[in-house]
Chains A and B, each alone.
Chain A
Amino acid sequence: MKLWIRRNLFRTWWDGVLTLAFGALAVWVLWTLVEFIFITGRWEIIEVNLKLLLVGQFPAESLWMVQGSLVAITFWLAAALGGKPRAPEDQVAWPRRIWDVIQRFGLIIGLGVLLVVLAGPTESAPLALAVVGAVAVGRVLNTTRHRVSWLARIPAIIWHLVLLIAPIALISLTLMQSELSLWGGFLINFYMAIIAIVLCFPLGVLLALGRKSTLPIVRLISTTYIELIGGAPLFVLLLLAGVALEFFIPSEVAPGSVFRAVTVFTLFTAAYLAEIVRGGLQSIPQGQLEAGKALGLSTVKITFLITLPQALRNVIPAQIGQFISLFKDTTLAGAALSIVELLKVSEAITKQDDFLGQGYIYEALAFVSLLFWVGSYVMSRESQRLEKRLGVGQR
């Protein structure tokens, strides 16, 4: 221990100075945080407005729909992404397993507990239990489907389809049950991000392929799109979608602002994604292409079976980075298009009579940051896991 300290913290006098300086800085930052969270922070503003922050003015009587979607999504994640049961030789002891789960989902669980506490345990307990139950059921279903022979014979694709239908059905119910204009808060950031991510991915891949196409017109259009959309600031595009559209289309028939925002996010992120994927495609050695050709594979098959899978795998970190950035950029929609998303709500609640002019914005913004940070951090952690599982850099 002594030796470790000497070796790693005080090897030379200069190292010692750095260690002390940064140590002091770390202590100071930590203390300030702890002080803010436990002593000076006035969290009643969050407590009172929790529903507004999370779902905006979503009608209370339909709230069960949102909760249902949440449960469905967790169920689906647990069932579809849980992976196969470990081989006997990879079995690890229970304490280790629990530790793994805490490492992976500790933040989400922590946030969940925090929200339950803030919302008042009696009201939110049923939802919390339902979520935990959904995870459990999903896991159990996933393991049994691999272990029970007649279930295992059903192809994986059918499983995934079936498992997909549950969340999609509930989400669409949520969408249909409510006026989009009543949506707000984090719910709207979340949905905008998810929908844009799902839509921009295929578009981005197609643009990347288009930019490498042998057909000049396809190449020209793809390149122009990428350069044009990718070259404009996102905020400007959002403003344009809000203002300029009104110019051409009468406001009665113009699509709602959420729709416009999602469109802009999709188109914008697709341009960046295209460049990322193109980079990935360029990293594939020429020999892969030649091997495919020599086998007699068609160009389409070479692309979709050989080059694209490798390219996408190589650029997972950059792709996820782009998705994280999209997720966080959804806060721009509030300022640009007056969508009542989380940031907008957090500002609005500080102007309520009870909290006006007392500097509550710190607490409000801290809560906003927390939600986004947890979301981003989990995404980036999961991307690293995905990379490991696909064996990037190893094969």
Chain B
Amino acid sequence: MNKKVFTDATQMSGNRGDADAIVVMSGVYKRFKDFEALKDINFQVGKQEVVVVIGPSGSGKSTLIRCINRLEEHDAGRITVDGTELTMDIRNIQEIRKETGMVFQNFNLFPHLTVLTNVAMGPRQVRNMPKAQAEELALELLTRVKIPEQADKFPSQLSGGQQQRVAIARALAMKPKVMLFDEPTSALDPEMINEVLDAIKQLASEGMTMVVVTHEMGFAREVADRVVFMADGEIVEVGTPTELFDQPQEERTKKFLSQIL
């Protein structure tokens, strides 16, 4: 790793200057009926920064990143992505979704379309790129995630790991400013986890801004610029991997880490 730029202690509280922050969340609340999923979230992701979010299930990790591209609507607070604030305005939302790529736990590839069409979908339909150009781009991205030979197959003919790499290529095709990973390896068989993590690591080394929700602690330690620990809808602790994993300050962090490590 050659670019630990934002790892100094001043980021502990998350209030770095807005200048080169891609994602800024301030005072964000989200509730589902009578369950409070996010409580007063203040959080920033800087350019080229890799933020890994960890925490027990039900702690609001997924909700946090799903709020960033408005798959969930936050109830209070402000979220801006690359300077655009998320409001009720659908054009704003579309704008932000164009700039954020998302990779889901269950891949969510379009089963009725070939792998190539899946990847070319975004550029063609959202960026109005001509078909040939979009497919060229798609093939290039498939090569980047090392499965160009699967281009004409359908998603169901691929292994889980391959499907997830297609999903990564599909998100990248929009040339997003930030990539959101929602537990990208949780639905995978153990032997396929590494191929997906490798693809994500490669992205990180190329300088992609990323927010990754994961249970893979080894991966977090290796790739993250900052690790965010969440519990009960709150951000409990933020720090570099070394700080958070080796000298956790908060009781809840210590407890969680002792349970999983």
B98 at the interface (CB under 8 A from A): yes
Docked-complex contact B108 and A313, CB < 8 angstroms: no
**Which residues of chain B come closer than 8 Å to A288, judged between CB atoms?**
108, 110
Docked-complex contact B104 and A290, CB < 8 angstroms: yes
A391 at the interface (CB under 8 A from B): yes
The complex places the Cα of A309 from the Cα of B171 at a distance, in Å, of: 22
Docked-complex contact A305 and B121, CB < 8 angstroms: yes
**Which residues of chain B come closer than 8 Å to A301, judged between CB atoms?**
125
Docked-complex contact A290 and B108, CB < 8 angstroms: yes
Docked-complex contact B94 and A296, CB < 8 angstroms: yes
Shortest Cβ gap from B201 to chain A (Å): 22
Docked-complex contact B121 and A295, CB < 8 angstroms: yes
B177 at the interface (CB under 8 A from A): no
Docked-complex contact A296 and B126, CB < 8 angstroms: yes
Q: Mark B113-124, 1 if CB is under 8 A from A, else 0.
A: 000000001100
A358 at the interface (CB under 8 A from B): no
**Which residues of chain B come closer than 8 Å to A295, judged between CB atoms?**
97, 121-122, 125-126, 170-171, 174
A389 at the interface (CB under 8 A from B): no
B104, B125, B174: the one within 8 Å of A287 (CB): B104
Shortest Cβ gap from A224 to chain B (Å): 28
Docked-complex contact A294 and B171, CB < 8 angstroms: yes
**Which residues of chain B come closer than 8 Å to A285, judged between CB atoms?**
106, 108
- Of residues B71, B109, B157, which shows the largest number of chain A Cβ atoms within 10 Å of its Cβ? B71
Docked-complex contact A296 and B98, CB < 8 angstroms: yes
Docked-complex contact B111 and A294, CB < 8 angstroms: no
Docked-complex contact A394 and B156, CB < 8 angstroms: yes
Task: Count residues of chain B with CB under 8 A from any CB of chain A.
Answer: 27
Task: Count residues of chain A with CB under 8 A from any CB of chain B.
Answer: 21
Docked-complex contact A313 and B174, CB < 8 angstroms: no
Docked-complex contact B100 and A395, CB < 8 angstroms: no
The complex places the Cα of A395 from the Cα of B109 at a distance, in Å, of: 11
B213 at the interface (CB under 8 A from A): no
* Given A301-B125, A305-B121, A310 and B98 contact (CB-CB distance below 8 Å): no
A385 at the interface (CB under 8 A from B): no
The complex places the Cα of A305 from the Cα of B111 at a distance, in Å, of: 12
**Which residues of chain B come closer than 8 Å to A97, judged between CB atoms?**
none
Shortest Cβ gap from B1 to chain A (Å): 28
The complex places the Cα of A375 from the Cα of B50 at a distance, in Å, of: 62
**Which residues of chain A come closer than 8 Å to B97, judged between CB atoms?**
293-296
**Which residues of chain B come closer than 8 Å to A305, judged between CB atoms?**
121, 125
Q: Mark A258-300, 1 if CB is under 8 A from B, else 0.
A: 0000000000000000000000000001011011011111100
**Which residues of chain A come closer than 8 Å to B69, judged between CB atoms?**
293-294
The complex places the Cα of A293 from the Cα of B174 at a distance, in Å, of: 13
**Which residues of chain A come closer than 8 Å to B102, judged between CB atoms?**
290-291, 294
A306 at the interface (CB under 8 A from B): yes
Chain B interface (Cβ within 8 Å of chain A)?
69-71, 94, 97-98, 100-102, 104, 106, 108-112, 121-122, 125-126, 154-157, 170-171, 174
Q: A294-B104, A295-B174, A305-B121 are in contact. List 17 more A-B contacts (CB 8 A).
A: A285-B108, A290-B71, A293-B71, A294-B69, A294-B97, A294-B102, A295-B125, A296-B94, A297-B121, A297-B122, A305-B125, A306-B110, A310-B110, A310-B111, A394-B156, A395-B111, A395-B112
A-B contact pairs, 14 of them (CB 8 A): A285-B108, A287-B104, A290-B71, A290-B102, A293-B71, A293-B97, A294-B100, A294-B102, A295-B121, A296-B94, A297-B126, A298-B94, A395-B111, A395-B156
